[in-house]
Amino acid sequence: MAVQDSQRFRLNLLGIVVLSLFAALFARLYYLQVLTEAEFQEAARTNVERVIPIQAPRGRILDTEGRVLVDNQTTLVVTVDAFVVRDQLTSPELRQDLSLRLARALSESGRLTKAADIRAELEDSKYGPFDKIPVAEGVTQEFKVWLLERQADFTGVEIQPVTVRYYPYGVAAAHVLGYIGPINESELELRASSLKAYQPFDDIGKAGVELAFEDVLRGVPGNQRLVVDARGNIVEYGEVTSPEPGNDIQLTIDIDLQVMAEQELVAGLERARLEIDSNGTGDFFNAPAGVTVILDPDGSAVLAMASYPSYDPRDFVEGISAEQFEVLVDESAGAPLNNRAIQGLYAPGSTFKPFTAYAAMNAGLISDRGALTQFSPLNDPGFFVLPGCDGGKCEFQNANRTPYGPVDLRAAITVSSDVYFYQLAWFFESFAGVRRESLQEGAEAFGFGTRTGVPLAYEADGLIPTPSLKEQRHEDFPEAFPEGRWFAGDTLNTAIGQGDMGVTPLQIANAYAVFANGGSLYSPSIAKASINPGTLQVELDYEPRLLNRLYMPAAVRDPIIDGLKGVPIDDRGTAREAFETFPNAQYPIAGKTGTSEKTGKSDFALFAAFGPADDPDYVIVTVLEEAGFGGEVAAPVVKQLFEAIALDAVPTAVPEDLDYLRQPNVLPVSSDEDPATDQQALAVDQEN
């Protein structure tokens, strides 16, 4: 009975709660709809403030001397007002009619356009009610006039100026500059809290400098406030916040050197393709790809970075189709979008020997109390037999099993004696008091195995094999790496830059820069300043970033440099033929050839050099894939570049539009000049 009573009471309680909810709703609706009706009817008529964003011009990209590499250009875009479409073009027939007339007019003006494409845009739901729907880009000024005269027939159709990227030097430096494209959802999310707010149709840097310096290049968008009534009519124009243009970025790249490096790279590959690979495939060399990197060894500023095959950044200006993009990332087509200077991993081959030599001296192997001194000759009979070897590969040979006779450290580098370095490797394995891995540690001190930190995305780490890495890799992927044990032969391969070693051309150049500048490892830079386009003030100076100071007294450095200096001039130097005509007396070069083997492919050719050898200004590294011997094909590419530098004959790069040649828009940054002088100088320049 009590239960019944209790339940009755509780049901009544529930009823009271429900009643009060109904009463609340009823009261609220009475308030909204009867008591304050007039207020809301007013609000429904003039109620929305719309904020229409105004794009800010993106900063330009300049070369080291202030020459413009990426500029903004205005192109005319035909747009249709989304509001007009919604309000007046209410039936499919009306939309089809406008699309047809517009497509015909555009096609007659020379810009072939399909009516179906226009109509598809008009009906695309991604556009908001106040957007201007773009239907055709890059129309002529004449078309604009033609349309203005017939505005009555084309209500809602407008011609808007839109800024797009312009590349005065065309395809040059494509990998460094990168490209921009419409922001995608994840990028939008990532930058949701960015000061420089992004809208769903905004462009954003996708690669290269455009990506790395997005925050500098992008301007702060402005906006226009509009008051719009419920039917979308603009009732009032509110305040305008002007956009703030993005800053210009001045690069360390020298466009003259860049263009020449690209041309010489292609020329080198073309020469290689005329030769037959008699040691390998027996057919003409493929030579499908290559890299040249030029660094300033004092601070590792990147002066030129050429990667072949390349792409045309202009393809991205009006949007790129999925099929076009597929080709650009297709491995079998050489993945032209890849920047091989930072993404390509190569076995350095003999270009690695100076680092083995450094490690041997640093570990005390080559010293008065070590296994040998820098002057002790070792006999090189053309092959090296691993002591105590029982089974497996026991004999390691020079290229072609060439015997070099007695060689000391200097000569071993000059003639590129593998046997000498096999012997060193064996000492790393066996000499009392020397740890085996001081070889790898030496290489790592030069930056191998770690990203250099150049401000470009997608840089590879590379790999210097060690016993623990090999074991780890075997444990992780036993199928792909069936062997986890470390053999003496692995140390031998490491010592001459073969085996599983993978390094980027930029890492090689940066490591040679350490020898060139006497022991400082820098993180390579690609930009030197951010410049406010309004005031021309330098707002940010990018200083060289020191990563490591290596112990490198003359006693360690000199024999190695001496060995490298012999490479282009010594009778037995591996690059002597390539440098036959080079003015080495005025401009001495220190360099090293490398030829790395890849199973099933022709040899990869490498050459790394710096000059002038005694006070180096340039480090140049060239890698040619599947192209033969380093001394025969890679060294000539580097030689051509050094020759032009030595004779001060690097040709001036010619932009498509000669206006860009006449005057640098911004003067080179130099720390001892104050910006005011720069401005005056610019003013003078502009008067000319």
Partner 1 sequence: MARTLNPRNDPNAPWYHLDPLVVIAPFGLAIVGLAAIYSTTRGTDPEAYRTFYLERQLVFVVLGVGVMVAAAVIDYQKLRALAPALYALGILSLVAVLSPLGSNVNGAQAWFNVGPFGLQPSEFMKLAVIVLLASYLSRFEGHLGLGRLVIALIVAAIPMGLIAMQPDVGTLLVFVAIVMGMFLVGGAQFRHIVALTLLGVGLVAFMVNSPVLEEYQRDRLTTFINPDLDAEGAGFNQEQAQIAIGNGGLTGQGYGEGDQTRSGLVPEQETDFIFTVVGEELGFVGSSLVLGLFALLIWRVWRAAQLAKDQFGTLLCVGIATMIVFQMFESIGMTAGIMPVTGIPLPFISYGGSSSLVSFMSVGLVLNVRMRRWQ
Q: What are the CA-CA distances from residue 389 to residues 393, 395, 421, 427, 430 (Å)?
A: 8, 9, 18, 15, 13
**225 counts as binding partner 1 under rule CB under 8 A:** no
**369 counts as binding partner 1 under rule CB under 8 A:** no
**197 counts as binding partner 1 under rule CB under 8 A:** no
Checking DSSP bridges between strand 61-62 and strand 248-251, what pairing results, if any? parallel
Helix (H, G, I), strand (E, B) or coil at 127: coil
Judged by beta carbon, residue 7 or residue 184, the one nearer partner 1 is 7
CB hemisphere CA count around 369 (13 angstroms): 6
Judged by beta carbon, residue 49 or residue 656, the one nearer partner 1 is 49
For the CB of residue 220, give the shortest distance to partner 1 in the complex, in Å: 19
* Eight-state DSSP code of residue 34: I
CA pair distance 484, 468, nearest whole angstrom: 9
**Sole binder of partner 1 in the list 26, 237, 477, 551 (CB under 8 A):** 26
**Sole binder of partner 1 in the list 86, 101, 273, 314 (CB under 8 A):** 86
For the CB of residue 123, give the shortest distance to partner 1 in the complex, in Å: 12
Q: Candidates 8-16, 344-352, 554-562, 591-599 — which segment interacts with partner 1 by CB under 8 A?
A: 8-16
Q: What are the CA-CA distances from residue 265 to residues 270, 288, 370 (Å)?
A: 9, 11, 43
**How many residues interact with partner 1 (rule CB under 8 A)?**
40
Alpha-carbon dihedral of residues 547, 552, 558, 559, nearest 10 degrees?
-100
**104 counts as binding partner 1 under rule CB under 8 A:** no
Judged by beta carbon, residue 1 or residue 274, the one nearer partner 1 is 1
Judged by beta carbon, residue 40 or residue 477, the one nearer partner 1 is 40
CA pair distance 173, 587, nearest whole angstrom: 27
Give the CA angle between residues 288, 628, 418 to the nearest 5°.
135
Residues 266, 637 contacting (CB under 8 angstroms) = no
For the CB of residue 196, give the shortest distance to partner 1 in the complex, in Å: 18
**Judging by beta carbons within 10 Å of its beta carbon (0-12, 13-18, 19+), is residue 569 exposed, middle or buried?**
middle
Judged by beta carbon, residue 187 or residue 275, the one nearer partner 1 is 187
Residues 438, 494 contacting (CB under 8 angstroms) = no
Judged by beta carbon, residue 6 or residue 242, the one nearer partner 1 is 6
CA pair distance 580, 569, nearest whole angstrom: 8
For the CB of residue 29, give the shortest distance to partner 1 in the complex, in Å: 5
CB hemisphere CA count around 16 (13 angstroms): 6
Sequence-distant (≥ 6) Cβ neighbours of residue 187 within 8 angstroms = 198, 204
Residues 31-70 that bind partner 1 (CB under 8 A): 32-34, 36-37, 39-41, 43-45, 47-49
**236 counts as binding partner 1 under rule CB under 8 A:** no
Query: Among 669, 355, 345, which Cα is nearest to 521's?
Result: 355
Q: Candidates 9-17, 321-329, 347-355, 481-489 — which segment interacts with partner 1 by CB under 8 A?
A: 9-17
Judged by beta carbon, residue 129 or residue 138, the one nearer partner 1 is 129
Judged by beta carbon, residue 98 or residue 645, the one nearer partner 1 is 98
Judged by beta carbon, residue 36 or residue 151, the one nearer partner 1 is 36
Residues 539, 263 contacting (CB under 8 angstroms) = no
CA pair distance 57, 71, nearest whole angstrom: 10
**558 counts as binding partner 1 under rule CB under 8 A:** no
For the CB of residue 54, give the shortest distance to partner 1 in the complex, in Å: 17
For the CB of residue 49, give the shortest distance to partner 1 in the complex, in Å: 8
Supply 37's token pair.
Answer: 């009706």
Judged by beta carbon, residue 91 or residue 278, the one nearer partner 1 is 91
CA pair distance 291, 320, nearest whole angstrom: 26
**201 counts as binding partner 1 under rule CB under 8 A:** no
Query: Among 356, 297, 398, which Cα is nearest to 559's?
Result: 356
DSSP string, 622-685: EEETT---IIIIIHHHHHHHHHHHHTT-PPPP--SSTHHHH--SSPPP-TTS-HHHHHHHHHHH
**Sole binder of partner 1 in the list 126, 231, 369, 485 (CB under 8 A):** 231
**15 counts as binding partner 1 under rule CB under 8 A:** yes
Residues 640-659 that bind partner 1 (CB under 8 A): none
Interface mask toward partner 1 for 107-136; x: CB under 8 A: ----------------------x-------
**Sole binder of partner 1 in the list 54, 73, 74, 90 (CB under 8 A):** 90
Q: Which parts of 123-159 fold into alpha helices (H)? A: 141-149
Judged by beta carbon, residue 74 or residue 155, the one nearer partner 1 is 155
**234 counts as binding partner 1 under rule CB under 8 A:** no
**21 counts as binding partner 1 under rule CB under 8 A:** yes
Neighbours of 682 (CB within 10 A): 17
Question: What is the helix (H) or strand (E) element at residue 227, kind and residue range?
Answer: strand 222-228
**160 counts as binding partner 1 under rule CB under 8 A:** no
For the CB of residue 296, give the shortest distance to partner 1 in the complex, in Å: 47
Q: Candidates 11-19, 178-186, 348-356, 666-674 — which segment interacts with partner 1 by CB under 8 A?
A: 11-19
**22 counts as binding partner 1 under rule CB under 8 A:** yes
Alpha-carbon dihedral of residues 220, 226, 227, 228, nearest 10 degrees?
-110
**186 counts as binding partner 1 under rule CB under 8 A:** no
Report the phi/psi class of residue 602: left, alpha or beta, with left for phi > 0 and alpha for psi in -120 to 50. beta
The residue with tokens 């979008």 is 337
Question: What is the helix (H) or strand (E) element at residue 380, kind and residue range?
Answer: strand 378-380
Judged by beta carbon, residue 20 or residue 663, the one nearer partner 1 is 20
**14 counts as binding partner 1 under rule CB under 8 A:** yes
Judged by beta carbon, residue 78 or residue 122, the one nearer partner 1 is 122
For the CB of residue 156, give the shortest distance to partner 1 in the complex, in Å: 15
For the CB of residue 47, give the shortest distance to partner 1 in the complex, in Å: 6
**Sole binder of partner 1 in the list 54, 73, 74, 92 (CB under 8 A):** 92
The residue with tokens 């908001």 is 128
For the CB of residue 194, give the shortest distance to partner 1 in the complex, in Å: 16
**Cis status, amide bond into 309, omega within 30 of 0:** yes
For the CB of residue 171, give the shortest distance to partner 1 in the complex, in Å: 42
CB hemisphere CA count around 451 (13 angstroms): 11
For the CB of residue 80, give the shortest distance to partner 1 in the complex, in Å: 17
Interface ranges with partner 1 (CB under 8 A): 3, 6-8, 10-11, 13-15, 18, 21-22, 24-26, 28-30, 32-34, 36-37, 39-41, 43-45, 47-49, 86, 90-92, 129, 230-232
